[in-house]
Structure 1
Amino acid sequence: MSSGSVHELTQRVVRRLYDRTGAHRLEFPIRVGDIVDSSSVRLPPPSTRQMSDALVVGWVCSPPGAASGGHATMFRMVAALEDAGHECRILLYDPHGVDLARYRETIRARWPHVRAAVEDIDAGLGVADAYVATSWQSAHVLAGRSDIPGTRLYFVQDYEPYFYPPGSEYALAEDTYRFGFHLLALGHMVHDEIRTNVGVDSSVIEFGCDTDTYRLRGATPRHGIAFYSRPDTARRGSILAGVALDEFHARRPDQTIHLIGPRPLTMSAPAVEHGVLTPEELAALYNSCVGGIGLSFTNISLVVEEMAMCGAVPVVNESPRARADVVHPGVVWAQPTPGALATALCDVVDHHDVTGRASAMGRARRPGSWDRSGRSLVTALTLAVRNEVERVMTP
């Protein structure tokens, strides 16, 4: 029996055990008892804590991984509040229990600039002026703890119903936008989808880009393309990208393919596999590549602007959702088919002046900074808290 056959047989046995033991239940990201119905949500009054210029803000979120883009953006907002003189607390939620020591270590190592205390939400919300949900699961958890005063907000980084096919999770995610929380939408796509599908307005927090890290680093030679692979996140299109990369390799075998993250299961082409890279290492890699793939079927991936600011041309799937928040004019849009993506990549690497184009990419219109985004969130959050307190105190 070949090694491939043995590997496939092992996978089948494991899958059978997975099905028979009910292990799939571990993937449901919320305890059943934490599910809330929007029709029964009762928002608590504002905090009775003595108000001052400095607020205390609790952020409810899932435990982070070292390479979690969503958590990275959230912690940028936490840091913005702290820099503005406010105190933050991170309240972790995991339906299977939180390993506090492990996640405290992860947060301190990955985001050392964040000073917030890290706690388990099951130990209680504690006293704060505001609490911010950061996902549909955390919104349910927060809505179910209405006995604790404090303004409720929801930092929405994507239209999360689109993470699922129509069904239970889709409905539960969509219902969170009806909870009555102050919605802080990252980008226009999220704002527009919530308004169109649910009829609820939100404050737009513009996308940012870390242009101190992701920038052009001189006219260095460029070769090959990069792909930040996330096979466990369907909306990032790794299955499609794997097929497209195989076709690209068949047409341009001299061009090196660089993979960040796990290899797509549909990809057999040779590649340099870098694993997980730091932002500085990513920027250096993008500065050495001609282009890359930046797929997203919901809100735009941060990879697109980061790659472009380093002079590498990102090939992105044609989509009005993806276009809603892309600023850089050098992005190449292609239909989301293997052939169209491969053709676009070939056109990118075949350009007659790769170095000149990279220089122009680096000098093109810059997206706003994350500092700007953070200031916008601080303003929206503090205004929501003040308005709620004033509304209650006004006779």
Structure 2
Amino acid sequence: MLDLLEQAQSLRRRALRRARRNRDERAFIAATSTVPGSLAFAGLQPMSLAVASIIRKTQVTAGVSVLLPQVQPEAIFAGIKTALHFAVDLAETLDRSLTIYALWENPTGQQSHQLREMMRVDFHLSRWAEVRVLPIASMVGRPVSDRELWIGTHWTTAHPLDVASRIGVLDPDQVIYLVQDYEPGFYPWSTEFALARSTYHAGFRMVVNSEPLAAYLRDAEQLDVDPALVFAPSLDLGRLEESAANRRKSAQPSVMFYGRPNKPRNLFAIGISALKLSATSPAGSGVSYSSVGESHATVALAGTTTLASRGKLSWQGYFELLSNTDVMFSLQHSPHPSHPPLDSVVSGGITVTNELAGTRAALHPRLLTAEPDPTLLGQRLNDAIEMARSSEPAGFDSTFITKLGAPLTDVVKHASALVA
């Protein structure tokens, strides 16, 4: 009965969101109907004309506006947190106010307050009262400075900025595109694939999360990515150093699988196959296996050996488990710098992950890679397990992170000099 009630509530929420997006889309189309060429872009995406619906004014004070897919405090994961961090630092460096627009969900007053408070604490935002958090619908007829600096994040936010640039509402030189993954890969070849890919060629200044992703963009899209605008992932080094200090050699190795069956790029089924192959081999004897990231049913691996799901952990719970895990098994079939493999290596553990276009193999001796094939990954898991059996915890090591890009603060300074 409870499941049926939850399903009904979920369907109702989806229907309300769909109705709101349809209403917002009609408002954007009406607001831009007199802008030459705008209606040609209506219907590509519900938010295609969102940014085009602003009114540019010379007498309005210029600020920084960042578009995010969502801003619910309970859904602020690594990508959105990085985008907020970048936007806050850039706004403070330029001494401008910051406006945050939520693309897909209308933030409540309570959520807006919680988000501002989180930024004040996490990013040491001294001028946090000057941060506004607004729904995307508030763009309709909104007076915005013609010198406003815009930040696109996920491709669905860069797309309406691209449309506004194409029809002359924005200058692409006033847009920074924070790229954190190769997002066309999230879709089969389709309209979404083509639109996501087109945002990389919109003429925006691109700031890229990690050198492996920048290398992939240079190769796949022939983009001229400025090395000075490539930053290393922002890891929680304080907690990772604490996790490293708490590590102890185990009597039998443990394997943590970053298992997310509803995220295709995390290759859940391939990961399960590799774990079964490892668990049935001599190397897997006596090893304990657990899964984190997303709840799923317990999986039988070999005999009485199972993979128990612990679901999504709290931030502190994750680091506590990390210090008690010898081998992290984390797959990501995209060039995004996934945090769990890096967290494990920095905190003295061993990681197995999949290779992708040669972007991972040379990062660290304790980061073991293989092509995304169950047999090859199972063999690398066995190598990692034997390495854990024969060696002591390695201790904290963050030096290799410099291979992944410059510190975010340095990239913000460089970006601010380009747009000031």
**CA distance in structure 2 between the partners assigned to 1:78 and 1:189 by the alignment:** 22
Q: Which residue of 2 aligns with 1:380?
A: 414
Q: Does 1:160 align with 2:183?
A: yes
Residue type at the aligned position of 1:206: F
> Shift of residue 224 of structure 1?
0.6
Q: Which residue of 1 aligns with 2:230?
A: 205
> Shift of residue 34 of structure 1?
6.4
Cα deviations across residues 125-154 of structure 1 (Å, max 9, x unaligned)? 663631100021111122334536781111
TM-score (norm 2): 0.71
Aligned residues: 356
Residue 106 (structure 2) aligned to one of 98, 101, 104: 98
Identity rate of aligned residues, in percent?
A: 20
Counterparts of 1:200-239 in structure 2, within 5 Å, are 200-203=223-226, 204-208=229-233, 209-215=235-241, 216-222=244-250, 223-239=253-269
User: What is the CA RMSD across the aligned residues, in angstroms?
Assistant: 4.0
Asked if structure 2 preserves the Cα contact closer than 8 Å seen for 1:328 and 1:364, the reply is no
Q: Does 1:73 align with 2:92?
A: no
Asked if structure 2 preserves the Cα contact closer than 8 Å seen for 1:80 and 1:374, the reply is no
Residue 119 (structure 1) aligned to one of 109, 134, 142: 134
Q: Which residue of 1 aligns with 2:70?
A: 63
Q: Sort the Cα spacing of 1:160 and 1:371 in 2 relative to 1 into closer, same or farther, 3 A.
A: closer
Asked if structure 2 preserves the Cα contact closer than 8 Å seen for 1:256 and 1:272, the reply is no
Q: Which residue of 2 aligns with 1:305?
A: 342
Q: Does 1:283 align with 2:283?
A: no
**CA distance in structure 2 between the partners assigned to 1:285 and 1:77 by the alignment:** 29
Residue type at the aligned position of 2:195: L
The 3-state SS of whatever aligns with 2:280 is helix
Q: Which residue of 2 aligns with 1:243?
A: 273
Q: Which moved more, 1:146-155 or 1:376-385?
A: 146-155
**CA distance in structure 2 between the partners assigned to 1:265 and 1:48 by the alignment:** 58
> Shift of residue 58 of structure 1?
1.1
Asked if structure 2 preserves the Cα contact closer than 8 Å seen for 1:292 and 1:314, the reply is yes
Residue type at the aligned position of 2:175: R
Counterparts of 1:1-395 in structure 2, within 5 Å, are 33=42, 35=44, 48=58, 56-64=63-71, 66=75, 68-81=77-90, 84=93, 85-94=95-104, 97-101=105-109, 103-104=111-112, 107-108=115-116, 111=119, 112-113=121-122, 115=128, 116-124=131-139, 127=144, 129-146=148-165, 147=169, 151-203=174-226, 204-208=229-233, 209-215=235-241, 216-222=244-250, 223-251=253-281, 252=284, 254-263=286-295, 267-269=299-301, 270-299=306-335, 300-320=337-357, 322-323=359-360, 327-351=363-387, 356=392, 358-359=393-394, 362-363=396-397, 365-368=399-402, 373-386=407-420
Unaligned 5+ segments in structure 2 are: 26-40
TM-score (norm 1): 0.75
Cα deviations across residues 221-247 of structure 1 (Å, max 9, x unaligned)? 334111222222211222211222233
Q: Which residue of 1 aligns with 2:36?
A: none
Unaligned 5+ segments in structure 1 are: 1-6, 387-395
Asked if structure 2 preserves the Cα contact closer than 8 Å seen for 1:93 and 1:138, the reply is yes
**CA distance in structure 2 between the partners assigned to 1:191 and 1:235 by the alignment:** 18
Q: Sort the Cα spacing of 1:254 and 1:353 in 2 relative to 1 into closer, same or farther, 3 A.
A: closer
The 3-state SS of whatever aligns with 1:359 is coil
Cα deviations across residues 4-39 of structure 1 (Å, max 9, x unaligned)? xxx9xx9xxx9xxx9xx999x99x999673648x9x
Asked if structure 1 preserves the Cα contact closer than 8 Å seen for 2:298 and 2:309, the reply is no
Q: Sort the Cα spacing of 1:256 and 1:180 in 2 relative to 1 into closer, same or farther, 3 A.
A: same
